[in-house]
Amino acid sequence: MKKAYAINAGLVLTLFAVITLLFHLGILNRFHNGLILLVCINIILAVSLNLSAGFLGQLVLGHAAFMAVGAYAAAIFSKYITGSEIGLSGTPLLIVALILGGLAAAVAGIIIGVPALRLRGDYIAIITLGFGLIVQSLINYFRTYTGGAQGLLGIPRLTNFNNAYFIVVITVLVLVCLIRSRHGRAMIAIREDEIAAEASGISTVYYKILGFTVSAFFAGVAGGLYAHYLAMLDSRAFGFSYSIELLVIVVLGGLGSFTGAIVAAVVLTLLPEILREFQQYRMLVYAIMLIAMMIFRPKGLMGTYEFSVFGIFDKCKKVFVKFKRKGAQ
Amino acid sequence: MPLLEAKGMGVDFGGLRALSDFEIAIEPNELVGLIGPNGAGKTTAFNLLTGVYAPTEGVILLEGKNIAGKKPYRINNMGIARTFQNIRLFKGLSVIENVKTACHAHMSYGILSGIMRLPKYWREEAAIHKEALELLSVFDMADLADVNAGNLPYGKQRQLEIARALATRPKLLLLDEPAAGMNPSETQLLMDTIQLIRERFGIAILLIEHDMKLVMGICQRMVVLDYGMIIASGKPEEIKNNPRVIEAYLGE
């Protein structure tokens, strides 16, 4: 067990070192830097949405709105701190701002989750859809704090590859460990059969609200990262289409697979850039790829499969044993 | 004091009186049968006892405490587990995960120790892993632990549902037509298993079954429902010769 942790930690650090090296060698430039940060933000959004949509089985149509709440809360906070006498700056300021953004989004999650999730059924889809629209109007309404339609400017640029990468790692780690505990089992049971879960002694209302709130928290964290990467916020960025884009990532990766969500987030963030040479056919190719994907792999890229180093060892071992048996015959 | 006692329990759905004046008392470690023709209200009685519906009148006492109208998971935590007429497994999960999920309420580590994997997490997880395997071996399913529950044959799915209910450590187990859709030899095997569970776990069982002949063999007492009313209750021999029961089942 300890070995698995060491190997995973090693892989995570190696990837970090490789990317850092590529930056130093100049193979990756500033344009790539922005792209990688967007990938990081989308990974956090995808894995957190996967918690509520994939593991809890609740259709959430307003994930971008939670991101918006977190983004504005974090941005307003760090703008205020930077302008004040409090000597907090750099990554420590970012971390405090992200936690605050996450908490703001989590509170929003509780407020809309409590009435919607007490009921059985798809009410949460409609309510989150409405929430998305309300958040955008509220941002435009409270102009003095949010900058309204002109956008919120002058946010300190605190997000960089170093801190974003490790925030992604922590997010994934927290969510994976949560899902593999008794609390995660309770959430998956709700997806599988809510009535049976309740009859097995699980408070379904509590775990639905818990899962939904944690999901909203990390959406808020992603929003905070986004705000401190762009240094400006515009409410139009957090519209319905972005929520749908995130849902596409999660469905494509496989509902209920963190590996799938991560892979899909990387691929679908980079794909529009890779397809840039197709120019006006870009969206067409993107759509065709999505349709083909759903036809050939309806359960998503990964289904509910998770990548693990030891899983691969086990598979190799099984193949080897089979081979040996054949040889002996 | 009986383990479970329902007094004057009844429920209306709008204008429809689904069950009225339902009375039952179950002693610890007793096996009671609940029978009746289709639509008599057997499953409704189960749903009231397990909190799926709140009774419109009457009390349900579990060890002297009123549980009428409590939430299903609370009632489960207090000691009543059930299975369903149409099997409700966590089909996408493995057999052992199904059982472990039901162990939820008697584990105590919090969300943070789960996320940070503190010693308590490892200790409790190891304990329920062992417990789940032991429970599965009672049903000869320990070797199927990693199979997807949805891929099990029908009879095994029924057994797994019972194992999952037992994993919640109930004092009373409610089985809703466990033999539905089984052939005679599978049914006989199931009845033997039910007897075994009662002896081994020392729990009381309330069993819904269509097939009179079958329940007669194993139940100590029976309650017969028709049109939402109890028409007879007593020992199997008394039930067999009760004219009202014969009428309900065979018609005049």
Domain that holds residue A273: 32-304
Instruction: Give pLDDT, residue A1.
Output: 65
Nearest residue on chain A to B128, judged by CA atoms? A182
- Tell me if A157 is assigned to some domain: yes
What's the whole-number mean pLDDT along residues A9-36? 92
Q: Which of A295-304, B55-64, B180-189 has the highest mean pLDDT?
A: B55-64
- Tell me if A15 is assigned to some domain: no
Give percent helix, percent strand, percent coil of chain B, each to the nearest 5.
Answer: 45, 25, 30
- Tell me if A327 is assigned to some domain: no
Q: Are A49 and A246 in contact (CB under 8 A)?
A: yes
- Tell me if A326 is assigned to some domain: no
Instruction: Give pLDDT, residue B118.
Output: 93
Q: Which of A174, A203, A256 sits opposite B115 (nearest CB)?
A: A174
Confidence of residue A86 (pLDDT cuts 50, 70, 90): confident
| A290's tokens | 């999505």
- Residues from A contacting B (CB-CB < 8 Å) are 174, 177-178, 181-186, 188-189, 191-193, 195-204, 210, 256, 304
Q: Is B77 on the interface with A (CB under 8 A)?
A: yes
Instruction: Give pLDDT, residue A329.
Output: 61
| A38's tokens | 């967007």
Q: Are B178 and B1 in contact (CB under 8 A)?
A: no
Give the SS3 label for residue B11.
strand
Give start-end residues of each CATH 3.40.50.300 domain in chain B: 1-79+170-252
- pLDDT tens-digit map of B117-155: 999 999 999 999 999 999 999 999 999 999 999 999 988
Please answer yes or no on whether A304 and B88 come within 8 Å at the CB atom.
no
- pLDDT tens-digit map of B196-207: 999 999 999 999
Q: Which of A174, A177, A201 sits opposite B73 (nearest CB)?
A: A201
CA distance B96 to B101: 9
**Terminus-to-terminus CA distance in chain A, angstroms?**
35
- Is 70 exceeded by the pLDDT of residue A8? yes
Could you tell me how many CB contacts below 8 A there are between chain A and chain B?
97
Name which of A66-70, A262-266, A286-290, B182-186 the model is least confident about: A286-290
Please answer yes or no on whether B101 and A183 come within 8 Å at the CB atom.
no
- Tell me if A213 is assigned to some domain: yes
Q: Are B168 and A200 in contact (CB under 8 A)?
A: yes
- How many domains would you assign to chain A? 1
The minimum CA-CA distance between B220 and chain A, rounded to whole Å, is 26
Instruction: Give pLDDT, residue B252.
Output: 58
User: Which CATH number goes with the domain that contains A251?
Assistant: 1.10.3470
- Tell me if A7 is assigned to some domain: no
| B113's tokens | 């120790």
ipTM over 0.95: no
| B79's tokens | 């000691």
| B136's tokens | 């599965």
Measured CA to CA in angstroms, residue B56 lies from B16, B21, B114 at distances of: 12, 11, 40
- Tell me if A14 is assigned to some domain: no
- Tell me if A314 is assigned to some domain: no
* Residue A315: burial class (beta carbons within 10 Å; 0-12, 13-18, 19+): exposed
Q: Which of B127, B130, B116, B47 is nearest to B82 (CA)?
A: B47
CA distance B171 to B187: 24
Confidence of residue A234 (pLDDT cuts 50, 70, 90): very high
Nearest residue on chain B to A177, judged by CA atoms? B115
CATH T-level assignment (fold) for domain B1-79+170-252: Rossmann fold (3.40.50)
